[in-house]
Amino acid sequence: GQSVKQIVANLAKNDLIRSPTAFYLLVKLMGLERTLQAGTYRINKSMTARDIAVNLTHGRQDTWITTLEGWRVEEIATELTKNLGLPESEFLKYAVEGYMFPDTYSIPKESTAAAIANIFLDTFNRKITQKMKADAIALGLSFEDVVILASLVEREGKTEYDRPIIAGILLNRLQISWPLQVDASLQYILGYQALEKTWWKKNLQVTDKDIDSKFNTYKYPGLPPAPISNPGLSALMSVIYPARTSYMYYLHDSQGDVHFAATLEEHNQNIDKYLH
């Protein structure tokens, strides 16, 4: 851990205390030099030196947690267990797939699973503006539909360029009641792959397309019944502001690059070119 002198130097560097020497003496006088703990604290400039000293001994550190775009709630739960020791099953009781906004968070160590799920949800609600909601309705989509679609787009598109086009293709397909045929929906049904150590199966088999599940977008037209991942802002924006495109098909090559096609003939040419 950091020495008291390092902790005091950090406080001074961040303009939280005026005099490092005076603060160090105060800590010694209060008999706190052995109990100061390094970490990330919620300290502000309006606190007195005495408040800061006491705060630093209580171990009310915040832990920094980063959750990634496109993770499913189980992956977030694993990260929370790793960093906070919170049982995965606890977080999963309160987590809402699709709405646990991916970001870097400062989480108080003593937080409950319910409180953490609320932090994620509050962030989601802050990021989504009233204008975005109104524009979604203008597209003829409920906001729940936007989140479901964005969760698919997040898994299927890797770049700012791809995502609005993929969103446009999926919206085109929805409009004419074509099955969406999104591989990520199959990965979601299949769940954790112990051999690959991932929640997203890398090499899907043809037989995976036959799984009987409402989440199977090969078998059932329309949207899956719920989100399959937690999308970031870019994926959500892609659905609300999609590319207007005549494309109806896309595929990923072995490098993960996406190739688009307007007709089945073009799509089959892409299959021959990039997948064989």
Provide the domain limits for residue 182.
130-245
The reply to whether 83 falls in a domain is yes
- Beta carbons of 155 and 71 less than 8 angstroms apart: no
pLDDT at 28: 85
- For the chain, the domain total comes to 3
The reply to whether 273 falls in a domain is no
Note the pLDDT tens digit of each residue in 46-101: 778 887 777 776 555 678 889 999 999 999 999 999 999 899 999 999 999 999 99
Q: Using a CB cutoff of 8 Å and minimum separation of 24, what contacts does 77-82 make? A: 80/113, 80/116
Q: Are residues 73 and 51 in the same domain?
A: no
Residue 30: pLDDT over 80:
no
The reply to whether 188 falls in a domain is yes
Rounded to the nearest integer, the mean pLDDT of the chain is 91
Q: How confident is the model at residue 37 (pLDDT cuts 50, 70, 90)?
A: low
Residue 42: pLDDT over 80:
no
The reply to whether 177 falls in a domain is yes
Q: Are residues 29 and 85 in the same domain?
A: no
Q: How confident is the model at residue 6 (pLDDT cuts 50, 70, 90)?
A: confident
Mean pLDDT of 235-241: 98
Q: Are residues 176 and 202 in the same domain?
A: yes
Q: Are residues 168 and 237 in the same domain?
A: yes
Q: Are residues 69 and 95 in the same domain?
A: yes
Q: Are residues 39 and 54 in the same domain?
A: yes
Residue 140: pLDDT over 80:
yes
Residue 125: pLDDT over 90:
yes
Report the chain's terminal Cα–Cα distance, integer Å. Answer: 55
Q: Are residues 69 and 46 in the same domain?
A: no
DSSP of the chain? ---HHHHHHHHHHTTS-S-HHHHHHHHHHTT-TTT---SEE---TTS-HHHHHHHHHTT-EEEEEE--TT--HHHHHHHHHHHH---HHHHHHH--TT-S--SEEEEETT--HHHHHHHHHHHHHHHS-HHHHHHHHHTT--HHHHHHHHHHHHHH--STTHHHHHHHHHHHHHHTT-----HHHHHHHH--BTTTTBSS-SS--GGGGG---TT-TTTS-S--SS-SS---HHHHHHHHS-------EEEE-TTS-EEEESSHHHHHHHHHHHH-
Residue 107: pLDDT over 90:
no
Q: Can you tell me the distance from the alpha carbon of 238 to that of 236, in angstroms, rounded to the nearest whole number? A: 5
Q: Are residues 176 and 82 in the same domain?
A: no
Task: Choose one of 127, 143, 159: the last residue of a domain.
Answer: 127
Short-list 67, 55, 70, 69, CA closest to 23: 55
